[in-house]
Amino acid sequence: MAGGPVEMETIVSLCKRRGFVYPAAEIYGGFANAWDYGPLGVELRRNIRDAWWRAIVQERDDVVGIEATVITNPRVWVASGHVSTFNDPMVDCKHCNSRFRADHIDLHAPCPDCGASGVFTEPRMFNMMLKTYVGPVQSEDAVAYLRPETAQGMFINFENVLTTTRKKLPFGIAQIGRSFRNEITPGNFIFRTREFEQMEMEYFVKQGQHEAAYDYWRTERMRWFLKIGVRPEKLRYLAHPKEALAHYSIGTTDIEYEFPIGWQELEGIASRSDYDLRQHADTSGRPLSYFDEETKEHIVPYCVEPAVGVDRTFLTLLCDAYDEETLEKNDKRTVLRFHPTMAPITVAVLPLSRNEKLAPKARAVWDLLRPHFKTQYDDAQSIGRRYRRQDEVGTPWCVTVDFETVEQDDAVTIRERDSMTQARVPIADLVPALRERYDAAVAQTAQIAAAFTPNFATL
């Protein structure tokens, strides 16, 4: 089973070696805490986005999606409170000039970087929004911001969505997109970066129904992680105390994961009240309300917001799937035990060798599978090395084409990643056989998720 302790450095090394994640601008010496996603990384990210969108939008009748701009009218960020409140306390070490968030270190302890004592500056507030300028003149009148969250794009489009979709409460607006924060101390690989991708949804309800919606989405979001294969024992809830709540929140609960760096936030579920809609209505002068047919009144809905990062989910899946095991004769293998819905490659087609007799049939099998699964054709090096390579990138099934396939039975061997068991299957039955295995894995985690019942009273 996966789940032994794994160091972050091990994950970073695997990601570069196998094409999940590369250091950004590496040929120029890199760029501070910036990462590019390689061929396998983009597939894993796409799987994450697709699974979230399917669960939040496509499988529901009460949520619709939008895509708002990254750069918008700067008054949006005045109304939301980001210009005045989106600040972190910052200190510098006078000895080595390292910079830290004051709330992330002990200011009475030695500097974490150089070990000097009593050398920190007084904390000062630092706004984390990244500024830019719109137009040819760089003046204060031309200042704009790269969005620090996707949420505001959904609030300022509330009226547009309501008018065009004619949704009734409760309903949600979902969005996936890039956000930017000028973090003081980013780090720990892709856990905290200045450029990241968010998956957020604003679920609007009548006041008085927000507590039930808050509990519902806290439960649903935990179940989603279980469905995509994250182990239950590595997940937990953490409720924010009232004094630690953001300015817009009347209640926030994090879903935490036990990363190599300890328990950290994976997703936040916030009960945002009617703060955002009221702020934008007051600042813009446009009413943002909902006409309640029952009471014949215009009301400003409350909202519940589940918000999770693609990058942090990506890191969670890597850490959760990583396993090293020792086989017979002290043979070691590294395995990423991805759930089939998340694996960048679902099925790899492997001819036993590069013998010219095998290639046409192997490629015909590959052609057969490609419309149904995410596949890869791999004929480089020995079959044993190729199995290990596919194990290391998390491919659930390998299909081997050998001389018996061509000369005798027109069948192939399905090799299963986790158990390494093999089964001979006629090519005519190959797609159904793989689909049956895929569906069984989906059903297994769906059953685990359905059985999950939280006890919020203990938070």
Q: What integer pLDDT is reported at residue 1 of this predicted model?
A: 39
The residue type of 1 is: M
pLDDT of residue 174: 98
pLDDT at residue 272 in the model? 93
What pLDDT, on a 0 to 100 scale, did the predictor assign at position 185?
66
In the chain, residues under CATH classification 3.30.930.10 are 8-83+136-318
d(CA 254, CA 307): 10
Q: What confidence score (pLDDT) does residue 101 get?
A: 80
Q: HSE-up of 7 (CA within 13 Å, CB side)?
A: 3
At the fourth CATH level, the homologous superfamily of domain 8-83+136-318 is Bira Bifunctional Protein; Domain 2 (3.30.930.10)
DSSP string, 52-107: HHIIIIIT-SSEEE----SB--THHHHHHTHHHH-EEEEEEBTTT--EEEGGGS-T
Residue 258 CB partners (closer than 8 Å, separation 6+): 234, 236
CA distances from 313 to 44, 87, 199, 318, 349 (A): 10, 25, 10, 9, 28
C-alpha distance from residue 299 to each of 272, 282, 284 (Å)? 16, 15, 18
**What secondary structure letter does DSSP report for 285?**
S
**445 contacts 227 by C-beta, under 8 angstroms:** yes
pLDDT score for 141? 85
pLDDT of residue 186: 60
Residue 452 CB burial class (10 angstroms; 0-12, 13-18, ≥19)? middle
Domain with CATH 3.40.50.800 in the chain: 345-447
Strand partners, 81: none
pLDDT value for 353:
93
Give the per-residue pLDDT at 2. Answer: 46
State pTM to two decimals: 0.91
Inter-axis angle of helices 39-53 and 310-321, to 10 degrees? 110
**Exposed/middle/buried for residue 321 (C-beta within 10 Å: 0-12, 13-18, 19+):** buried
pLDDT digit string (tens) for the chain, length 459 residues: 344 578 999 999 999 999 999 999 999 999 988 999 999 999 999 999 999 999 999 999 999 999 999 999 999 999 998 887 777 788 888 888 888 888 778 888 899 888 888 788 988 877 788 889 999 888 888 999 999 999 999 999 999 999 999 999 999 999 999 999 987 766 689 999 999 999 999 999 999 999 999 999 999 999 999 999 999 999 999 999 999 888 889 999 999 999 999 999 999 999 999 999 999 999 999 999 999 999 999 999 999 999 999 999 999 999 999 999 988 887 889 999 999 999 999 999 999 999 999 999 999 999 999 999 999 999 999 999 999 999 999 999 999 999 999 999 999 999 999 999 999 999 999 999 999 999 999 999 999 999 999 999 888
Return the pLDDT at 4. Answer: 57
Q: Please give the CATH architecture assigned to the domain spanning 345-447.
A: 3-Layer(aba) Sandwich (3.40)
**pLDDT value of residue 3:** 46
| Radius of gyration for the chain, computed over Cα atoms and rounded to the nearest angstrom | 25
